[in-house]
Structure 1
Amino acid sequence: MLSTSLPSFSFSLKEALDLLQRFINSSNQIKQIHSVLLTSNALVSSQRKTILVYNTLIRSYLTTGQHKTSLALFTHMLASNIQPIDLTFPSLIKAAHSSFSVSTGVALHGQALKRGVLSDPYVQTSFVRFYGEVCDLRSSRKMFDEIAHPCVIECNSMLDACGRNGEMDSAFELFQRMPVTDVVSWTTVINGFGKNGLHDKAVMLFREMIVVIPPNEATLVSVLSSCANLDQGGVHLGKQIHGYVMRKEIILTATLGTALLDMYGKAGHLEMALTIFNRIRKKEVFTWNAIISALASNGRPKEALEMFEMMKAKNVRPNGITLTAVLTACSRSKLVELGIQLFSSVCSEYKIIPTSEHYACMVDLIGRAGLLVDAVNFIKNLPVEPDASVLGALLGACKIHEDSELGNKVGKTLIGLQPQHCGQYVALSTLNALESNWAEAEQIRKDMIQAGIRKIPAYSVLSRLEK
């Protein structure tokens, strides 16, 4: 280990490089090496070696999650007249994205152009990825188009940029034109389809892929997510994937195992979900979240709450998703007081800032129990304006308890917020019909038709999956 008495400790640039490579994942050691370099003025010697040290320091701080320090080092480089090279930029571009700094990324683009390294394939690929991640698909595509002969890695970055920004037609067109594809190419498109709600297309592409190239863990996780969002046809394929995992003796990591148990949980196969949960050796917070949600949504909310207590006993720190699952469990059990107490205590103890989804869960919890006045008061006391999810939860409670007077007020507010959402019109019309307010129900239907809104029909993708 490095000495903690830094003033009496020094080393050459070559030794610094060796140490940085050795301790690249250790934040404390990186800081110590950096401090020694500064106090010994070692960074003002050989230009070439100094650039290598700066590059390694930038990458080291990035690896340990200190993105702003990486960017600050680049500023220090320029101030010290140390000229960056092509290898300097990829880590900086990634740091800019990780710091949520679009302006820094654009400034780095200008620096890369100024330094004559923008034609470097790694720099180009980094910018294609960066602009895609910050939702600037136009700049991402422009950078990609400047690459004369894009390789598979550069194409994969463009596929990911399109998928992140909802341009799956463009992504699939590029995918079909690629002279060479690899497992990342297939996985990126499958994941893109899933992220954009095109789960049937994700599944069909996976069926094609399995004939051409073996999937990796990321592929399996992506397609299992799509299976979980389909009907029984999705479950059928999910079981086949489970069988594939067992036949190939693929290690059930937390990520893959959670994808499997989530798929089984959403399909109502709770016992299998629990079996998978028990087989996952190293359970992450998202694993616990998935099993709590599965129990809550399959008629076993009390077991879901017991699982939450077990999670805390294992010293796994709950997050916002955990809170949503727990509140859902309380709502299904009509445990209003417990839900309110948990909402307050979990947010306070684990520093969770409530979102609209959490507020909607609370309204559902209170309203589902028939405490509509309390639900209204809860909304009035929110620190933010209630959005469609919060008001939608209240409308749902009005429908359950057939309160057409309050429901009409809430429903009309919702229609004002989401004038093109057919669900609000249908819910409001149904509520009035339950109260035998036929004239009002008919008028709402007419308003919906006049607004050019059509009810989205239910459909099955089973036939498509079997083709």
Structure 2
Amino acid sequence: MRRASPYSYAVIERLLREHFPFPRRLLQLHALLLTSGALLPDPERSAATITAFPYNCLAHAHLRVPSASSSSPPSAPLRLFSAMLARGARPNRHSFPSLLKSASASASASGSAAAAGALHAQCLRRGLAADRFVACSLVSAYGRTGRPARDARKVFDEMEGSPDLAACNALLDALCLAGDLEAAETFFRRMAARDAVSWTTLVSGLSRGGRHRCALEVFRGFLLENNMGRRLGEATLVSVLSACANLDGAEGLAAGVAVHAYLVRHELDLTAFLGTAVVDMYGKHGRLGCCRSAFDAVHKKEVCTWNALLSALANHGMETEALVKFDIMRAEDFLPNQITFLALLTACARAGLVEVGLYWFEAMVAEYKVTPLMVHYGCFVDLLGRDGRFVEAIQVIERMPFVPDASVLGALLGACKLHGNMELAVEIGQKLIALGPQQSGRYVTIRNVYLEDGNWHAGARMGEVMQEVGIKKTVGQSSVVLHGTVIP
């Protein structure tokens, strides 16, 4: 026989209202309500007297507490929704935003899209899809789940009246996440009003899509459109610094230095988020002195801050310093992650520290429980190949849990050229061509291998093959920046 809960519905609502500002307390209260049976269906209680408030409140609490630091899984709000329906409570306009955010946070893209679609159907069934608050959440959810941008656009177009700024920003974000950057730029230009979120969204989307110069142009437009007296937000600054970091040449560095000067001039603190962006920007451009200074200026460092410094040192000839900094990082109780170990293995490979690199690759899996990615295996193969241990390198490739890509095979090809293993180099080169038959660099690499081995006939034949399939060698280009303008 079901034991009655000692908590009345009025008591539950009062407790939730009192502790709403403290999400961790709400999660503790949720556990108490579950163990007491207060949230189970009660046939003796009229469904009309049960409101959605407790379920909405608890769902919101689960989203406010990061799942990495609590026992709250991303699907908890969806399970609360099922319990709400089972108990007869009617979802309202405050129910679905938390549910849609939870659905879009699913680890599986297909699962999150299916959950968002099911929740959309629930909104339509209950006549809530036209609500501006719910519709805006639907647009954001479709953007995050990887669904085509037309799904988010359809919800946006069906909103009653003129969409407000929040809805426009949600659709802009959905277009950027879907990679439809031309549509995003067109929609941005047509927006009746724009705020810092609008500009930051477009800058971030363009940078993610590899259009870093366009991202900088948009940022300059932000500065010119009556925003000179307004403090730039952290998210905006991080987005533009990312674009500066990934834009090759003097233009990217000059823009990055200007953004850093803005931070200094306005005495903005280098938080872990913002400081990491500055460190990464200087690191990508090889300015290690500025990189170290920016790192030291970050008061509350996170693992990502250390990773930016380690990557900069490993990729610009300071491999020994990278290893020393890694030891300091561990001594300060920072837990290395996949990016940390990539920087570490890169440093070991470039410094020729084979045994050190092999030790840390094994420790990464056995001691730190970090799952190696393709790039880690590429470093591992590079370590073995540089030491001439081709048999072991091939064994590693054969035992990988996935098919090797160009980075892994390219690492082995480089080692073959280094040690003069021409037979294996040709074999690996043929596999690389199969992976990317239209990439001229791979044909040129194999041709050079033949020529270095003195096989002039095979080298000439490779050039003929390129002509037969219509592949041309990529022509080198250079440019200069004059008064902020790139001149080819």
Residues 183 and 449 of structure 1, relative CA distance in 2, 3 Å threshold: farther
Give the Å deviation of 1:250: 1.1
Counterpart code for 1:85: N
TM-score (norm 1): 0.92
Counterpart in the other structure of 1:3 = none
Partner of 1:18: 17
Which is richer in helix?
1
2:378 paired with 1:360: yes
Q: Give 1:106's aligned residue.
A: 117
CA RMSD of aligned residues (A): 2.5
Find out whether 1:77 has 2:84 as its counterpart.
Answer: yes
Determine the C-alpha separation between the residues in 1 that align with 2:100 and 2:448: 53
**1:92 corresponds to:** 99
Name the aligned partner's letter for residue 59 of structure 2: I
Match of 1:334 among 331, 347, 352: 352
Query: Measured at CA, do residues 48 and 432 of structure 1 come closer, stay the same or move farther in structure 2, by a change above 3 Å?
Result: farther
2:239 to 222, 225, 237: 222
**Residue 150 to residue 336, structure 1, CA distance change in 2 (3 Å):** same
Letter in 1 for 2:178: N
Deviation string 1:219-262 (CA, Å, 9 cap, x unpaired) is: 11111111112211110111111110001111111111111111
What aligned pairs does 1:122-271 form with structure 2 within 5 A after superposition? 122-137=133-148, 138-147=150-159, 148-212=161-225, 213=227, 214=230, 215-230=232-247, 231-271=249-289
Letter in structure 1 aligned against 2:14:
E
- Higher alpha-carbon deviation: 72-81 or 435-444: 435-444
- Does the aligned pair in 2 maintain the 1:16–1:53 contact within 8 Å? no
1:289 maps onto 2:294 in alignment: no
What's the CA shift for 1:385? 2.5
Q: Which amino acid aligns with 2:153?
A: R
1:204–1:465: 8 Å Cα contact kept in structure 2?
no
How far apart are residue 49 of structure 1 and its match? 6.6
1:423 aligns with 441
Structure 1 distance, partners of 2:473, 2:29, is: 59
The 1:182–1:38 alpha-carbon spacing in structure 2 relative to 1, beyond 3 Å, is: same
The whole-number CA distance in structure 2 between the counterparts of 1:202 and 1:357 is 28
Structure 2 vs 1, CA of residues 92 and 395 (structure 1 numbering), >3 Å: closer, same or farther? same
Contact map agreement 1:425 1:448 (CA 8 A) in 2: yes
Q: Which runs of 5+ in 1 are unaligned?
A: 1-6
Deviation at 1:306, TM superposition (A): 1.0
Q: 2:359 aligns to what SS in structure 1?
A: helix
CA distances 1:81-137 after superposition (whole Å, capped 9, x unpaired): 111111100100111111233222211111011010001122212221212222212
Change (3 A) 1:318 1:463: same
Paired letter, 2:266:
K
Tell me how far 1:458 sits from its aligned partner: 4.5
**TM-score scaled by length of structure 2:** 0.88
Contact 2:26–2:58 (Cα < 8 Å) also in 1: no
How far did 1:26 drift?
Answer: 4.3
Local SS of the residue matching 2:37: helix
Q: What CA distance in whole angstroms lies between the structure 2 residues aligned with 1:142 and 1:462?
A: 45
Alpha-carbon spacing, 1:89–1:63, altered in 2? closer, same or farther (3 Å): same
Q: Which residue type is aligned with residue 99 of structure 1? A: S
**Cα 1:371/1:42, change in 2 over 3 Å:** closer
* CA distance in 1 between partners of 2:240 and 2:476 (Å): 22
Q: Offset of 1:372 from its aligned partner?
A: 3.1
Q: Structure 2 CA distance, aligned partners of 1:438 and 1:173?
A: 54
Tell me what 2:396 maps to: 378
Cα deviation for residue 217 of structure 1 reads 1.2
Counterpart of 2:37 in structure 1 is 38
* In 2: Cα distance, 1:35 partner to 1:329 partner: 51
- Report how far residue 367 of structure 1 moved: 1.6
8 Å contact kept, 2:19–2:25: no
C-alpha distance 50-248 of structure 1, shift in aligned 2 (>3 A): same
Deviates more, 1:182-191 or 1:10-19: 10-19
Aligned-pair CA distance for 1:395: 1.7
Q: Which runs of 5+ in 2 are unaligned?
A: none
- 2:336 paired with 1:322: no
**Residues 392-424 of structure 1, C-alpha deviation per residue, up to 9 Å, x if partnerless?**
221222233343321111111111122223332
Alignment CA distance shift 1:94-1:271 (3 Å): same
Instruction: Look up the equivalent residue of 2:336 and give its one-letter code.
Output: P
Moved more, 37-46 or 265-274: 37-46
Q: Percent identity?
A: 40
Assess if the C-alpha contact under 8 Å between 2:433 and 2:442 holds in 1. Answer: yes
Structure 2 counterpart SS, 1:22: coil
Q: CA deviation at 1:175?
A: 0.6
Q: Does the CA contact (< 8 Å) of 1:94 and 1:130 recur in 2?
A: yes
Aligned partner of 1:433 in structure 2 is 451
